[in-house]
Amino acid sequence: MQEVILIKDGELALKGLNRSTFEDILIKNIRRKLSALGKFRFEKAQSTISVSPESEETDLDEAAEIIGKVFGIVGYSRAAICEKEMGTILHTAEAYLGEKLDAVKTFKVESKRSDKKFPLTSPEISRETGGYLLRRHPHLKVDVHSPDIVVNVEVRDKYVFIHGNQEKGAGGMPVGTNGKGMLLISGGIDSPVAGWMMAKRGIELVAVHFASPPYTSKRAEMKVHELLRKVAVYSGRIRLYTVRFTEIQETIRDNIPEDMFTLVMRRHMMRIASMIAEKENCQALITGESVGQVASQTIFALNCTNKAAKYPVFRPCIGMDKSEIIEISRKIDAFDISIEPYQDCCTVFTPKHPKTRPTPELLDEAEAAVDWTELLDTAVKTAEAQFISVNQNPEGSY
Ligand code: ATP
Ligand code: MG
C-alpha cells in the first residue's frame, strides 16, 4: 500500500496572498530536514501538503518524527493513497486502519470531496465507509462528538487519501518567514529555550557565544555546540560566532568598579552581538533573560543592558518562571546538557555585591575610563564562525 504524510500548515492560512510563499518556505525546510532519509515529492492543495517518498524503502516513521519538529505545522498524519473508486476506498480503509479500529471503542468517518465529479457526496462516502467498517468491527460504536478515532476519507483530484487521527505538529511559523535574529547563547538553561521560542515564530537563528579562555574551557564551548544542535533539530542549522572575550573581561576587572563588572560586561556583549548582527543582516537580538531572576536581570539592570543594544532585544523568557523554562528545556532535550557544570564567562569575576539600582548614566560614566573601540572591533574581527547542524556535518544540509 502506498503511504504518504499529510501536513496541515498553521497560521499560514491567515496569510492570504503570501500564503504560497510561506508554503514554499515550509516545503523547503521540510525537504532539507528529510534529505538525510532520501528523496520526497511534495504537493500542495487545499491547505494540505502531501509528502511522498520516492523510494519504497524510505522509513516513514523517522520521516514523521522529523516532520513533528518542523515549525509552521499544526498537525500531520500518515495516510494511505488509493484509486478513486468506492470499493477500493472501502478495502483500503479496512486494510490501513482495521487494526487500529480493533483497539478502540468508538469511531466516526469524516469525508471530504474536492473532486465534485466523484459520484458520491461526502455524507454518502462517510455513510458507506462507516457501515462497511462497522460490519467488520461489530464491537465499535459511532460517536460523532468525541470518537476515539476519526477515519478520514479525502477524495482529491488525482487520488484518495485515507487516514486516522492527526498528530499535533510543532506549531508556530516556518523558520525564515520572519527574518533573522542573533541569539546570545550561554551554556545555561534559558538561552537555548529563548532561541527555540523565537525560531518557533519563524525567525532564522544566528548565534553568538562569548568565551573567556583560559577562565572558560573548551568543554564549555563544546557544550554550547551540543545545545545548539538540540535547537537546530527544530530551527535548522545555525551559524555560530564564538567571540574571544578574555581581554575585554580583564580590562573590565582592571578599570571598572567591582559592583558594575557584570553590567558592563553584559553591555559589551550587546554591543558585540549588535555589530555581528549588522554584518549578518539580523533584525533583533535574542537573550534568555527573565525579569528578577538574578541581579543582572532586575528591571533596572535590563534597562541598562538594553541601552547598549542597537536592535530590539527579544527576551521570550522574560515573564516565565524557572520551572516553566525548564519544562521547555526538557521538551527539546536540552536540559541534561544545560546542567553540566562548566564555567561560563558570566561567572568569571563576578562582584560580591552587584549594584542593585544601576542607571545607564552611572554605567556610561564608569565605561568612559577606557576607550573600548579597538577592543570591541578586535573581538568582532577575531570571532570564529561555523555552522552547527543536527547531523554534526558542518556542510550538512540542515
Ligand atoms: P542562561 O541560562 O541562558 O545562561 P542565565 O539565567 O544564566 O541564562 P545570565 O547568565 O545572566 O542568565 O545570562 C543572561 C543572558 O545573557 C543569557 O540568557 C544569554 O542570552 C546571555 N549570555 C550569558 N552568558 C553568555 C555567553 N557566555 N555567551 C553568549 N550569551 C550569553
Ligand atoms: Mg547563564
> pLDDT, tens digit, for every residue of 245-281?
999 999 999 999 999 999 999 999 999 999 999 999 9
Instruction: Report the alpha-carbon distance of residue 5 to residue 166 in Å, rounded.
Output: 10
Q: Is residue 384 a contact partner of residue 241, using CB atoms and an 8 Å limit?
A: yes
Q: Is residue 151 a contact partner of residue 110, using CB atoms and an 8 Å limit?
A: yes
Which grid cell is 186? 550561554
Cα 197 to its chain centre, rounded Å, is 7
**Whether residue 190 has its Cβ less than 6 Å from ligand 1:** yes
The C-alpha cell 577606557 sits at 370
For residue 397, what pLDDT is reported?
A: 46
For the entire predicted model, the pTM comes to 0.94
Nearest CA to ligand 1 atom 7: 188
For residue 12, what pLDDT is reported?
A: 56
User: Is CATH 3.40.640.10 the right assignment for the domain spanning 3-170?
Assistant: no
pLDDT digits (tens, 9 = 90+) for 279-329: 999 999 999 999 988 888 999 999 999 999 999 999 999 999 999 999 999
Ligand closest to 293 (CA) is: 1
pLDDT band of residue 14 (cuts 50, 70, 90) is: low
User: Is residue 24 predicted with pLDDT exceeding 50?
Assistant: yes
Q: Is residue 1 a contact partner of residue 96, using CB atoms and an 8 Å limit?
A: yes
Nearest CA to ligand 1 atom 25: 186
Rg value, the chain, Cα: 26
pLDDT digits (tens, 9 = 90+) for 155-199: 998 899 999 999 999 999 999 999 999 999 999 999 999 999 999
Q: Is residue 178 a contact partner of residue 203, using CB atoms and an 8 Å limit?
A: yes
Cα 181 to middle of ligand 1, angstroms: 16
* CATH for 180-388, options being 3.40.50.300, 3.40.190.10, 3.40.50.620, 3.90.1720.10: 3.40.50.620
Domain extent listing, the chain: 3-170, 180-388
pLDDT digits (tens, 9 = 90+) for 358-385: 999 999 999 999 999 999 999 999 999 9
- Strands 3-9 and 73-82 come out as antiparallel
Cα 32 to its chain centre, rounded Å, is 14
